[in-house]
Protein backbone atom coordinates (compact mmCIF):
# COMPACT_ATOMS: atom_id res chain seq x y z
CA UNK A 1 0.00 0.00 0.00
CA UNK A 2 1.28 3.44 -0.95
CA UNK A 3 -0.91 5.46 1.43
CA UNK A 4 -0.02 5.19 5.13
CA UNK A 5 -3.63 5.79 6.18
CA UNK A 6 -4.77 2.79 4.12
CA UNK A 7 -2.00 0.69 5.66
CA UNK A 8 -2.95 1.88 9.15
CA UNK A 9 -6.59 0.99 8.46
CA UNK A 10 -5.57 -2.55 7.50
CA UNK A 11 -3.25 -2.99 10.50
CA UNK A 12 -5.79 -1.49 12.91
CA UNK A 13 -8.58 -3.73 11.62
CA UNK A 14 -6.33 -6.74 12.20
CA UNK A 15 -5.46 -5.49 15.70
CA UNK A 16 -9.16 -5.07 16.49
CA UNK A 17 -9.71 -8.71 15.55
CA UNK A 18 -6.62 -10.24 17.15
CA UNK A 19 -5.08 -7.99 19.82
CA UNK A 20 -6.51 -9.17 23.16
CA UNK A 21 -6.15 -5.90 25.10
CA UNK A 22 -7.27 -2.46 23.93
CA UNK A 23 -6.16 -2.32 20.29
CA UNK A 24 -7.05 1.40 20.37
CA UNK A 25 -4.65 2.14 23.23
CA UNK A 26 -1.86 4.46 22.16
CA UNK A 27 0.96 6.22 23.94
CA UNK A 28 0.67 9.99 23.54
CA UNK A 29 3.90 11.94 23.93
CA UNK A 30 3.77 15.68 24.47
CA UNK A 31 6.28 18.24 25.67
CA UNK A 32 5.94 21.25 27.93
CA UNK A 33 6.84 24.68 26.59
CA UNK A 34 10.37 24.21 27.98
CA UNK A 35 10.77 20.90 26.16
CA UNK A 36 10.34 18.43 29.05
CA UNK A 37 8.74 15.27 27.59
CA UNK A 38 5.65 13.58 28.99
CA UNK A 39 3.93 10.38 27.88
CA UNK A 40 0.74 8.57 28.84
CA UNK A 41 -1.73 6.08 27.38
CA UNK A 42 -4.91 7.38 25.74
CA UNK A 43 -7.52 5.77 23.50
CA UNK A 44 -7.93 6.30 19.78
CA UNK A 45 -11.48 7.51 19.18
CA UNK A 46 -11.37 8.08 15.46
CA UNK A 47 -9.01 8.14 12.51
CA UNK A 48 -9.09 9.02 8.86
CA UNK A 49 -6.76 10.86 6.45
CA UNK A 50 -7.33 14.06 8.47
CA UNK A 51 -5.68 12.49 11.53
CA UNK A 52 -5.95 10.49 14.74
CA UNK A 53 -8.46 11.65 17.38
CA UNK A 54 -8.42 11.42 21.18
CA UNK A 55 -10.28 13.30 23.92
CA UNK A 56 -9.29 14.88 27.22
CA UNK A 57 -9.92 17.67 29.69
CA UNK A 58 -8.29 20.82 28.28
CA UNK A 59 -7.06 21.66 31.79
CA UNK A 60 -5.27 18.31 32.17
CA UNK A 61 -1.49 18.11 31.95
CA UNK A 62 -1.69 16.94 28.34
CA UNK A 63 -4.13 19.76 27.56
CA UNK A 64 -1.77 22.31 29.11
CA UNK A 65 1.20 20.87 27.21
CA UNK A 66 -0.64 20.79 23.87
CA UNK A 67 -1.72 24.41 24.39
CA UNK A 68 1.94 25.38 24.90
CA UNK A 69 3.36 23.12 22.19
CA UNK A 70 0.96 21.47 19.71
CA UNK A 71 3.55 18.98 18.41
CA UNK A 72 2.96 15.43 19.63
CA UNK A 73 3.66 11.79 18.86
CA UNK A 74 1.60 8.61 19.11
CA UNK A 75 2.70 5.01 19.44
CA UNK A 76 0.55 1.93 18.91
CA UNK A 77 2.18 -1.28 20.13
CA UNK A 78 0.34 -4.47 19.26
CA UNK A 79 2.57 -6.95 21.04
CA UNK A 80 0.66 -10.07 20.02
CA UNK A 81 0.94 -9.01 16.36
CA UNK A 82 4.59 -8.02 16.77
CA UNK A 83 3.88 -4.64 15.21
CA UNK A 84 4.00 -1.00 16.15
CA UNK A 85 3.07 2.26 14.46
CA UNK A 86 4.74 5.59 15.32
CA UNK A 87 2.99 8.81 14.28
CA UNK A 88 4.31 12.37 14.62
CA UNK A 89 2.71 15.68 13.78
CA UNK A 90 0.77 18.71 14.91
CA UNK A 91 -2.41 18.58 16.95
CA UNK A 92 -5.50 20.67 16.41
CA UNK A 93 -8.78 20.80 18.29
CA UNK A 94 -11.70 18.87 16.83
CA UNK A 95 -14.87 20.89 16.27
CA UNK A 96 -17.34 21.39 19.12
CA UNK A 97 -19.93 19.45 17.09
CA UNK A 98 -17.54 16.50 16.72
CA UNK A 99 -16.71 16.56 20.45
CA UNK A 100 -20.42 16.77 21.34
CA UNK A 101 -21.24 13.84 19.07
CA UNK A 102 -18.53 11.65 20.60
CA UNK A 103 -19.37 12.70 24.18
CA UNK A 104 -22.99 11.65 23.58
CA UNK A 105 -21.81 8.09 22.80
CA UNK A 106 -19.96 7.69 26.12
CA UNK A 107 -21.47 5.70 28.97
CA UNK A 108 -23.43 7.93 31.33
CA UNK A 109 -21.04 7.19 34.22
CA UNK A 110 -18.12 8.28 32.01
CA UNK A 111 -19.97 11.48 31.13
CA UNK A 112 -20.58 12.19 34.83
CA UNK A 113 -16.95 11.40 35.60
CA UNK A 114 -15.87 14.06 33.10
CA UNK A 115 -17.89 16.61 35.08
CA UNK A 116 -16.60 15.39 38.45
CA UNK A 117 -12.89 15.27 37.60
CA UNK A 118 -10.42 18.13 37.50
CA UNK A 119 -8.15 15.83 35.51
CA UNK A 120 -4.47 15.89 36.49
CA UNK A 121 -5.09 18.32 39.36
CA UNK A 122 -4.37 17.35 43.00
CA UNK A 123 -7.24 15.92 45.06
CA UNK A 124 -7.09 15.47 48.83
CA UNK A 125 -8.75 12.03 48.84
CA UNK A 126 -10.61 9.48 46.78
CA UNK A 127 -13.68 10.30 48.89
CA UNK A 128 -13.64 13.88 47.60
CA UNK A 129 -13.69 12.69 44.00
CA UNK A 130 -16.45 10.17 44.71
CA UNK A 131 -18.52 12.86 46.45
CA UNK A 132 -18.13 15.10 43.39
CA UNK A 133 -19.23 12.22 41.16
CA UNK A 134 -22.35 11.64 43.32
CA UNK A 135 -23.12 15.37 43.21
CA UNK A 136 -22.94 15.28 39.39
CA UNK A 137 -25.17 12.21 39.31
CA UNK A 138 -27.73 14.12 41.38
CA UNK A 139 -27.34 17.31 39.33
CA UNK A 140 -28.09 15.53 36.05
CA UNK A 141 -30.67 13.04 37.39
CA UNK A 142 -33.28 12.41 34.67
CA UNK A 143 -31.53 14.75 32.21
CA UNK A 144 -29.02 14.27 29.41
CA UNK A 145 -25.43 15.00 30.44
CA UNK A 146 -23.97 17.73 28.21
CA UNK A 147 -20.29 17.86 27.33
CA UNK A 148 -18.36 20.03 29.80
CA UNK A 149 -16.91 23.11 28.11
CA UNK A 150 -13.32 22.15 29.06
CA UNK A 151 -13.67 18.56 27.77
CA UNK A 152 -12.66 18.35 24.12
CA UNK A 153 -10.84 16.42 21.46
CA UNK A 154 -7.61 16.71 19.56
CA UNK A 155 -6.68 15.45 16.13
CA UNK A 156 -3.05 14.62 15.51
CA UNK A 157 -2.38 15.53 11.89
CA UNK A 158 0.30 13.12 10.77
CA UNK A 159 3.52 14.34 9.19
CA UNK A 160 5.47 11.08 9.73
CA UNK A 161 4.13 7.55 10.10
CA UNK A 162 6.44 4.60 10.67
CA UNK A 163 5.29 0.98 10.47
CA UNK A 164 7.51 -1.47 12.35
CA UNK A 165 7.22 -5.25 11.97
CA UNK A 166 9.20 -7.60 14.17
CA UNK A 167 11.40 -10.12 12.39
CA UNK A 168 13.64 -12.88 13.74
CA UNK A 169 17.16 -12.01 14.85
CA UNK A 170 16.21 -8.30 15.12
CA UNK A 171 16.05 -8.05 11.33
CA UNK A 172 12.91 -5.94 11.67
CA UNK A 173 11.15 -4.11 8.86
CA UNK A 174 10.65 -0.35 9.19
CA UNK A 175 8.61 1.54 6.60
CA UNK A 176 8.63 5.32 6.96
CA UNK A 177 6.09 7.62 5.29
CA UNK A 178 6.75 11.38 5.34
CA UNK A 179 4.17 13.94 4.25
CA UNK A 180 5.35 15.95 1.24
CA UNK A 181 2.73 18.53 0.34
CA UNK A 182 -0.46 16.61 -0.40
CA UNK A 183 1.27 13.26 -0.95
CA UNK A 184 3.54 10.90 0.96
CA UNK A 185 7.07 9.69 0.32
CA UNK A 186 8.04 6.23 1.47
CA UNK A 187 11.41 4.85 2.49
CA UNK A 188 12.83 1.94 4.44
CA UNK A 189 14.91 2.35 7.60
CA UNK A 190 17.55 0.06 8.99
CA UNK A 191 16.22 -1.78 12.05
Tens digits of per-residue pLDDT, 67-87? 999 999 999 999 999 999 999
Of all residues in the chain, what percent carry a pLDDT higher than 90?
90
Q: What does pTM read for this prediction?
A: 0.92
* Residue in 108, 170, 174, 175 annotated catalytic: 170
In the chain, the domains with their CATH numbers are 4-102+149-189 (2.30.110.10)
- Residue 170 falls in the annotated catalytic set: yes
User: Sign of torsion, CA 156 162 163 169?
Assistant: negative
Parallel, antiparallel or unpaired: strands 173-180 and 151-165: antiparallel
- The residues pairing with 52 across neighbouring beta strands, listed in sequence order, are 47, 156
**Residue 159 binned pLDDT confidence (cut-offs 50, 70, 90):** very high
Q: Helix 108-116 vs helix 126-139: angle between axes, to the nearest 10 degrees?
A: 120
- Residues 119 and 60: beta-carbon distance below 8 Å: yes
| In the chain, alpha helices (H) | 4-18, 61-68, 96-105, 108-116, 126-139
Amino acid sequence: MDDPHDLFDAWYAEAQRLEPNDPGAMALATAAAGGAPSVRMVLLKGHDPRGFVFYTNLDSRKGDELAANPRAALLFHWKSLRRQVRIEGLTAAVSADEADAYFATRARDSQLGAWASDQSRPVDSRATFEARYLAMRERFEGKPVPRPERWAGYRLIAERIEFWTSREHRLHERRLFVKAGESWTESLLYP
